[in-house]
Amino acid sequence: MDGQAKQGSQGGESDMECSDTECFDDYDYYNNDDNEIEQIDPKKTDIEYFSCESLNEEQVERLLNETVELLSNNLQITPSSAKVLLHSHEWDVPAIVRNYKENVSNIRIRTNSAIVPQSQICFRYITCSVCVTTQNSDKFFSLSCSHSFCKDCWMTHFEVQINQGISTGISCMARDCGVLAPEDFVLKHLARTNLREKYQQFTFQDYVKSHPCLRFCPGPNCSIVIYSKEIKAKKAFCSYCKTSFCFKCGIDYHAPTECIIIKKWLTKCADDSETANYISAHTKDCPKCNICIEKNGGCNHMQCYSCKHDFCWMCMGDWKTHGSEYYECSRYRENPNVAYESAHAQAREALKKYLHYYERWENHSKSLKLEEQTLTKLKTRINQKVMSGLGTWIDWQYLFTAAELLAKCRYTLQYTYPYAYYMDPGPRKELFEYQQAQLEAEIENLSWKVERAETTDRGDLENQMDIAEKRRTTLLKDFLDV
């Protein structure tokens, strides 16, 4: 939050530079106003704002090499040794330098002695303790720990380790010696090209994984690496394969829920979903005429085909009661007497509570998928409209924007349920659930309007979009903590 505040004030200064050529009074007026100012700092206005870059392998190499060079110049060590240090210290150059200067002997890899053949006396025969053959001393090499072994043994050692998937973690062959083999030492002893490639591929992966500011894009078959200076639970986006994910924990973006909570929730869902699936079936009966209804759209405002009764898919209540401010369907009412009841009843209550949140979580996730289908239907509908002369293609574009926004809002709404599930009862939870209900009501309104939009409704729809997004950002502003 500190960082954001700072960024915000910087943004303010730049605004001043832009506008002070005109009039100071004007400047003050604009600066204190919430109205649109040109060049708004996104960090100030958008709580979800996250700047990240999509890098290809080459760009990552360049980024890593810059850091390696910096450290190797700073400490006067070889780049390979610098890499070993960086890998084991999360690429934190200042910390390594501090550590190194304070206690040189503590850092295992002191590099000056590496790779130099151990022979001070030129012609000497030594027995390699690994292969037990006696060879000329010029065939012997050692790491900084001075444990020397013959060339062939180093080669075989590296081959065996690389074939087991070990790369940056290859250590010396001596007993209880943890000195790691730097990259140049390994590459020098590897003869086969395919192994060299494999080794470089493995080390690259290890380097990226150990770097706090880098993440492999989780998209299928995507080799992009996402870079961000901020290590926060925010939405990282791969500009190549369009995958988005939480930068901190790597799974699907999950605001306003925290990384630990969402992990807990997903594990719980994976464990309990069998029961939950059984309990929440795919179809429901119309509360009025009892005809069996399968949900085929994302909107939760249902209208029975048979009797035209409007009801809420979530609570099965009359939709009319949802229209007002008291949209209560998303709120789970805790039974106050539960403490006095038996363990069995408590377990039932716990299951009921879980199912309440799980059903809503699952339902919005399904709605999201169904709304994707709505988008295809939307295209056909627009085509029809355009063909029959009702506006041009461009006139209908706003519907796609609306659908996009709807998906965004519903996504956040879905992730509010795990958040609410793990909240302690109290005024904060009440506030949260109130805002959640508000958001849910507006989203359903939006969904209903998107599915039934005509050109004439444009103003109304855009108004609805604005309301839904405002509800969403308000909720995030109050409860998202990153």
Partner 1 sequence: MANIAAQRIKREFKEVIKSEEVAKCAIRVELLNDTFTELKGEIAGPPDTPYEGGTFVLEIKVPETYPFNPPKVRFVTKIWHPNISSVTGAICLDILKDQWAAAMTLRTVLLSLQALLSAAEPDDPQDAVVAKQYKENNEMFQITARHWTNVYAGGPNINKDCDDKIRRLADMGIEEHQARVALSSYDWELERATEQLFS
Interface ranges with partner 1 (CB under 8 A): 129-133, 147, 149, 153, 156-157, 160-161, 171-177
| Matching residue, tokens 């604005």 | 466
Cβ at position 433, least distance to partner 1 in Å: 45
Q: At what angle do helices 193-210 and 79-88 cross, to 10 degrees?
A: 50
| CB of 10 or CB of 133, closer to partner 1 | 133
18 is catalytic: no
What residue spans of 328-426 are helical by DSSP H? 343-387, 397-421
| CB of 50 or CB of 185, closer to partner 1 | 185
SS3 138: helix
What residue spans of 130-192 are helical by DSSP H? 151-163, 183-189
| CB of 54 or CB of 171, closer to partner 1 | 171
Q: Which of 454, 18, 257, 241 is nearest to 249 (CA)?
A: 257
Q: Would you say 293 and 302 are in contact if contact means Cβ atoms under 8 Å apart?
A: yes
For residue 288, CA distances in Å to 52, 116, 293, 330, 350 come to: 51, 87, 12, 22, 30
Cβ at position 185, least distance to partner 1 in Å: 15
Cβ at position 171, least distance to partner 1 in Å: 8
| CB of 173 or CB of 382, closer to partner 1 | 173
Q: How far apart are CA 198 and CA 165, in angstroms?
A: 9
| CB of 167 or CB of 414, closer to partner 1 | 167
Contact partners, residue 24, CB within 8 Å, separation at least 6: none
Report the run of H or E that residue 292 belongs to, with start and end: strand 292-294
Cβ at position 168, least distance to partner 1 in Å: 14
- Catalytic residue of the set 128, 150, 286, 299: 299
For residue 290, CA distances in Å to 30, 216, 251, 329, 359 come to: 58, 51, 41, 21, 21
Q: Which of 442, 290, 281 is nearest to 363 (CA)?
A: 281
| CB of 179 or CB of 224, closer to partner 1 | 179
| CB of 176 or CB of 424, closer to partner 1 | 176
Cis geometry, peptide bond prior to residue 256 (ω within 30 degrees of 0):
yes
Structural Rg of the chain based on CA atoms: 31
Burial class of residue 271 (count of CB atoms within 10 Å of its CB; 0-12, 13-18, 19+) = exposed
What positions carry a catalytic annotation?
A: 299
